[in-house]
């Protein structure tokens, strides 16, 4: 039985009906995102120092061991007013920011996929695919911005998982392969031409990863968005002489943001753009 009703003039669009279950999934996505965000902070902070991922968390300032109630995502930061319980040193804003961003993006993915026609039978695999993509790109966004580093291991691990999930979901494999090759060769070519001066090897893996996450032709949109965003930040910095042509732009940061935008709205943006130039 179809309980959906259609508003006037909206005959071509499926009505969106929210059920209690939708809200439970949404809440779960947000809370799960907060917890994963907390884990991503550990990955971001420990990998560049070569520390183990497991093991107790300590204050980077006074080295005190942190109790479980100091590590509750978001709430501990608010309760401690952003300061270490022992030495009162300020806790980095990165912690609550990454937790909240992961929670918000996980929830956004739940909202978008629930509204998409045809996702229902594979909803959980699709959400899991989105969440792996979001996690890897969020880590890369922060590490390239803060340390000029892209973790190859994180990208390659996520690429394997996302490819497998896309196979389970039944995504067409040829466009995925084409997108992966475009993403990798786009940066591979620049790497060879500049002998590794313009970009790092990490950008090559990142390009391939975003390719198999968003497929073809969406990969072209992701690359274009990243370049537009990068240029709109770099050109004012160059003109105001805050940066020189020798400065390295954290391109992985722009590419990660463009990858997430394309994952969520790639089809809509491409439709809009093609309409604009062909009508
Ligand atoms: Zn401390």
Distance of CA 90 from the midpoint of ligand 1 (Å): 8
Average pLDDT over residues 60-87: 91
**In the prediction, which pLDDT does 247 show?**
66
**In the prediction, which pLDDT does 11 show?**
43
Helices marked H in 60-200: 75-79, 94-115, 123-147, 152-169, 173-193
Has residue 86 got a pLDDT over 90?
yes
**In the prediction, which pLDDT does 30 show?**
97
**In the prediction, which pLDDT does 15 show?**
57
For the chain, percent of residues with pLDDT exceeding 70: 91
Residues 241/278, Cβ–Cβ less than 8 Å: no
- The CB density around residue 273, as the number of other CB atoms within 10 Å, is 12
Has residue 188 got a pLDDT over 90?
yes
* C-alpha span between 252 and 201 (Å, rounded): 11
Model confidence pLDDT, tens digit, residues 206-229: 999 999 999 999 999 999 999 999
Distance of CA 71 from the midpoint of ligand 1 (Å): 13
Distance of CA 91 from the midpoint of ligand 1 (Å): 9
Ligand 1 is an ion; residues with CB less than 5 A from it: 59, 61-62, 84, 86-87, 89
Model confidence pLDDT, tens digit, residues 262-278: 999 999 999 999 899 88
Distance of CA 37 from the midpoint of ligand 1 (Å): 21
What token pair was written down for 29? 């996505």
DSSP letters of 228-262?
HHHHHHHHHHHHTTSS-TTSPP-HHHHHHHHHHHH
**In the prediction, which pLDDT does 173 show?**
94
Distance of CA 45 from the midpoint of ligand 1 (Å): 16
Distance of CA 190 from the midpoint of ligand 1 (Å): 44
Model confidence pLDDT, tens digit, residues 199-212: 788 899 999 999 99
Model confidence pLDDT, tens digit, residues 120-142: 778 999 999 999 999 999 999 99
**In the prediction, which pLDDT does 7 show?**
40
Average pLDDT over residues 44-65: 81
Residues 215/183, Cβ–Cβ less than 8 Å: no
- The CB density around residue 95, as the number of other CB atoms within 10 Å, is 21
**In the prediction, which pLDDT does 124 show?**
93
Distance of CA 198 from the midpoint of ligand 1 (Å): 39
> Can you give the residue ranges of every domain in the chain?
15-115, 122-279
* C-alpha span between 222 and 214 (Å, rounded): 8
Write down the mean pLDDT value for the chain. 88
**In the prediction, which pLDDT does 4 show?**
38
For the chain, percent of residues with pLDDT exceeding 90: 62
């Amino acid at each position: 039985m179809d309980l959906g009703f259609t508003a006037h003039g909206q005959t071509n669009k499926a009505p969106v009906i929210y059920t209690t279950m939708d809200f439970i999934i949404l809440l779960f996505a947000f809370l799960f995102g907060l917890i994963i965000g907390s884990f991503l902070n550990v990955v971001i902070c420990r990998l560049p120092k070569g520390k183990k991922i497991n093991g107790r968390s300590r204050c980077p300032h006074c080295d005190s061991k942190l109790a479980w109630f100091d590590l509750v995502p978001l709430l501990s930061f608010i309760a401690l007013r952003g300061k270490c319980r022992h030495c009162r040193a300020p806790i980095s804003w990165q912690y609550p920011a990454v937790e909240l961003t992961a929670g918000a993006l996980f929830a956004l993915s739940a909202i978008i996929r629930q509204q998409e026609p045809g996702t229902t039978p594979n909803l959980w695999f699709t959400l899991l695919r989105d969440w792996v993509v979001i996690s890897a790109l969020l880590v890369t966004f922060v590490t390239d911005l803060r340390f000029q580093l892209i973790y190859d291991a994180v990208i390659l691990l996520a690429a394997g998982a996302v490819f497998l999930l896309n196979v389970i979901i039944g995504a067409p494999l040829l466009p995925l392969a084409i997108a992966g090759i475009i993403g990798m060769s786009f940066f591979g070519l620049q790497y060879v031409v500049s002998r590794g001066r313009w970009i790092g090897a990490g950008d090559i893996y990142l390009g391939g990863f975003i390719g198999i996450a968003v497929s073809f032709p969406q990969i072209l949109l992701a690359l274009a968005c990243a370049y537009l965003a990068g240029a709109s930040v770099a050109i004012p910095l160059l003109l105001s002489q805050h940066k020189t042509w020798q400065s390295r732009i954290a391109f992985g940061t722009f590419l990660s943001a463009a990858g997430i935008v394309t994952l969520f709205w790639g089809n809509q943006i491409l439709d809009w753009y093609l309409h604009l130039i062909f009508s």
